[in-house]
Structure 1
Amino acid sequence: MRVRELLNYFKPYGFETPDWMIVEEYGLRPDQIIRMDLNTSPYLPQKWLNSLGSRISKLRFNRYPDTTYRELVGEISRYTNVKPEKIIPTNGADEAIDVIVKALIDCGNEAIISSPTYDYFRVSVELQGGRVVSIPRKKNFADNVEGILSSINDKTRLIFLCSPNNPTGNTTSYDDVLNILDKASDVAVVVDEAYYEYCGETFIELTETYDNLIIVRTLSKAFGLAGARVGYIVASKGTIKMLNKTRPPNSLSLASIELAKIALRDYETVSRNVRKIVKERERVKELLSTLPRIYAYPSKANFILFELLEGDAKTLHKKLMEKGIVIRHIELNWVQRYLRVTISLPEHNDRFLKILEKILKEKT
C-alpha cells in the first residue's frame, strides 16, 4: 500500500494512556485511578444527563442532523453574544483547527506557533503539508511578539495563539493580540480559547473589527463535555463563509448536539463549577509552593504547571502513576523537569498532594 511520504517522518499527536493500560501496567483497580492529566472537568451535572435521557426517544437517529446546526448555533450565539452567522459548531476544538488549516494551508505554506503550546496545531499543519515555525516563549512564558512578527514572510498563512496557554497556563495580553492583528493583517490569527471560562479574558469582540481573527472554543473543559466532542469557531461573516467550505458535513451527533444545547442553557451551573475549580487551583498552587524542590507557576486555566528543581521528573511521574495518580510529564524546550496537574475534586487534589509530598521526601 502506497502512503504519503510525510508519514515516514511525521510525529503523531501523543495520545493519552487509557485507563485499562494503566490498570494492566501498574496492577491497579479502575477505582484507584485518579485522572489529573487531561485538563477535563470533574463535574458533569446529573440533571443534564436526566434531561438528555428524557429527550433521546424523540431524536430521529435514522436521519442526519441539520447540517446548519441551527438550534445549537442559536444557543452558542446567546451564550457568546455573537451573531449566529459568525459561528460554526465543530466536533471539538481539534476539528475546528483542522477546518481552519484546510482552508488556509497549502503544501509549503507556513504557520507560526508560540512554543510550548498545544501540539495539535503542529499536527494539523504538518498533515496538510505545511511547515510549522516555532517561536520560543520568553522566560515567563509570555509570547515573543517581536519574534512572531519578524518570522512572517510570503509563505506565512497562520499564527496560532493559545490563551490561556496549554501547558503553561498564562494568557496572551490584549495589546499583544492587537499588535499582531494590526501588523499581520494579511495573515490569519487563531486564538485558542479552550480555557476561556477559567480566566474570563476573551478576544471574541475583536472579530467585529478584524477579518483575520479566528476564535476557537470548546465545551470539553469548563462545561465538562469532553466526551460529547463539541467545539465552535467564531470569526467575521466573510471568514465564516470561507471556513464553511472546508468543514465536514454532519460531524456532530444528534445526542452531542442535544447535550450541548442543555449545557449552554444552564451556564449558572457551569459558572458555579468553574468557581470551585478556580478556588481549588489557587489552594493547590499555594500548597505545591510549600513542597521542597517544587516551583509552581501561576495559572489562569484549570491546571498548574510545576517544575521539579532537583531530581528526575520522569521518575516522579512514574511513582505517582504507581499510586494511581495520573498527571502529565512535559518537555518544554528540550527540558524534561516539568509536570502538569489538572485541578480535580478537593479529595483528589488532597490525595495528589499527600502522595507527592511523600515521594519528594524519598528523594526522587
Structure 2
Amino acid sequence: MNAPLDPNPLRHIREDVQSLHAYAIQNATGLIKLDAMENPFSLPPALQAALGERLGRVAINRYPGDRIEDLRQALARHIDLPAGQALMLGNGSDELISLLAMACDRPGAAIVAPVPGFVMYAMSAQLQGLAFHGVPLTAAFELDEVAMVAALRTHRPAITYLAYPNNPTANLWDAAVIRRLIAEAARFGGLVVMDEAYQPFSSRSWLDEMRADPVANANVLLMRTLSKFGLAGVRLGYLVGPSALVHEIDKLRPPYNVSVLNAECALFALEHADVFARQAVEIRSERDRLASAMAAMPGVHPFPSEANMLLVRVPDADRAFAGLKARGVLVKNVSKMHPLLGQCLRLTVGTPEENTQMLNALPPSL
C-alpha cells in the first residue's frame, strides 16, 4: 500500500538546513555602520565618474569572456605571484570556502579551525557533509599549539583554516607555531588554508613564507578578498597555491562565476591601487588612535589588532552595544558568539569623523 502523499514542499529540504540560522546582517539604516569591517572610504568623485563611464561601456549582453582572464593576470601581477603558483577567482571568499569543502568531500573528511573564527568555515563543512572540529584559542586569543596538534593527529583533516589575521580577534598568530602546524598537516597530506581577508591592514603576509620556502608550504593555499581592500560591494575573492592543487579546485568553479561588472570594477581598482593603499594607511592610523583612546577608558580593554577592526572587552557588552546604537552607531556584539568572547564588542575602524562620533557615543559608564 502506498504511503499517504505529503503536499508540503519543505519535506524535500534537508532537515539540517532547516535547523540552520541564516547569516545575520544587521539593519544599519540611519546609523553609522561600523559592524562589518568594510573600508569606510568611497572613491573620490573624479574616480567615481571615470568608473561609471567605464562600466557603461561593458558588454552586459554577453557572458564574461577574456576580461576575466585579464583580471586574473592583473591580480597575479599585483601580488607578484610566486613561481609555480596559480591563482583562481571566486565570487567573494565565501564561494572559495564552499568550493574547497566540495573538493575535499570524501567519506570521513573533516575540517579543523581555531575558534572563535570565521563562521563560514563551520557552515561550509556542515552544508557539504564534512565534520567540523573547532579548537579553542587560548584566553589571550593565541593558537593553542598542543590542542591544535592533537586535533590534527586525531582527525587528520582535509582542510585546516588559519585566518591571518583572525576574525573576530583581529590578531596575527605566532609564525613559528603556524610553520609547525603546516608541517604536521603535511605528514598526512592535509591542506592548510591561510585566510588573509584583512591583509591590507596587516604587517605580515604568509605569501612571503610561500615565496621564500615553497617546499615547506607545498600543502598551503592562501585566500584573499577585495572586500576589505575597498570593494565589499563587488564580491571578489581569489585563491593562490601550488598550480596542481589550484588546478583541481578550479574545476569546481561555476562557469561565469565573476560578472563582467565585478571584473571591470576590480581592474579599475587595481589600476588605482595607490588610492586604496593610502586609505589603508589612514585606517591603520585610526585603528591605533581608537585603541589608545579606549585603553584609557576605565574597565575597557582593546586587544591588539592587525586588521581594520578592534575587539574590545567592556564591563557590559549588551549595555554598551545598546547605548551606541541609541546614539546612532552600529557595532557588532560578539559577546555570545563564543565563551572566550564574553563581554566583547567588535568595532570596525571607520573614517576619522565616524570614529570620533563612536568614541563620543560610548555610554558614560560602561
After TM superposition, the score normalised by the length of structure 1 is: 0.90
The equivalent position to 1:38 in structure 2, one of 29, 36, 39, is 36
Residue-pair matches, total: 345
In 2, distance between residues paired with 1:121 and 1:107? 18
What residue number does 1:325 align with?
A: 329
Q: Distance in 2 between matches of 1:282 and 1:190?
A: 28
Match of 1:216 in 2: 223
Asked if 1:315 is matched to 2:322, the reply is no
Which residue pairs with 1:87 in the alignment? 87
One-letter amino acid of the structure 1 residue matched with residue 162 of structure 2? L
Q: 2:150 matched to 1:145?
A: no
Matches within 5 A, 1:210-249: 210-221=217-228, 223-249=229-255
| Structure-2 residue corresponding to 1:19 | 28
Q: Percent identity?
A: 26
Question: Residue 347 and residue 57 in structure 1: after superposition, are their counterparts in 2 closer, same or farther (change >3 A)?
Answer: closer
Change (3 A) 1:108 1:360: farther
After superposition, the Cα gap between the structure-2 partners of 1:241 and 1:3, relative to the gap in structure 1 and judged at 3 Å, is: same
CA contact (8 A) 1:320 1:326 kept: yes
Matches within 5 A, 1:119-268: 119-152=119-152, 153=154, 156-185=157-186, 186-205=189-208, 206=210, 208-209=214-215, 210-221=217-228, 223-268=229-274
Counterpart CA distance in 2 for 1:130 and 1:229 is 25
Instruction: Label 1:211 to 1:105 Cα distance change in 2 as closer, same or farther (>3 A).
Output: farther
Q: Which moved more, 1:150-159 or 1:281-290?
A: 150-159
In structure 2, the residue matched to 1:273 is: 279
RMSD: 1.9
Cα 1:17/1:67, change in 2 over 3 Å: farther
Point out where structure 1 has 5 or more consecutive residues left out of the alignment: 21-29
SS of residue matched to 1:228: coil
Equivalence for 2:5: none
| Aligned partner letter, 1:69 | I
The answer as to whether partners of 2:28 and 2:330 remain within 8 angstroms in 1 is: no
Superposition map of 1:329-340 within 5 A:
329-330=333-334, 331=336, 333-334=338-339, 335-340=341-346
Q: Matches of 1:289 and 1:58 in 2, distance apart?
A: 50
| Alpha-carbon offset, residue 321 of structure 1 | 1.0
User: C-alpha separation between the residues in 1 aligned to 2:270 and 2:348?
Assistant: 23
TM-score by length of 2: 0.89
Cα deviation digits, residues 84-138 of structure 1 (max 9, x gap): 9610111111111111111113364211110111111111111111121111101
Q: Distance in 1 between matches of 2:218 and 2:253?
A: 19
Structure 1 CA distance for aligned equivalents of residues 266 and 18 of structure 2: 39
What CA distance in whole angstroms lies between the structure 2 residues aligned with 1:211 and 1:67? Answer: 30
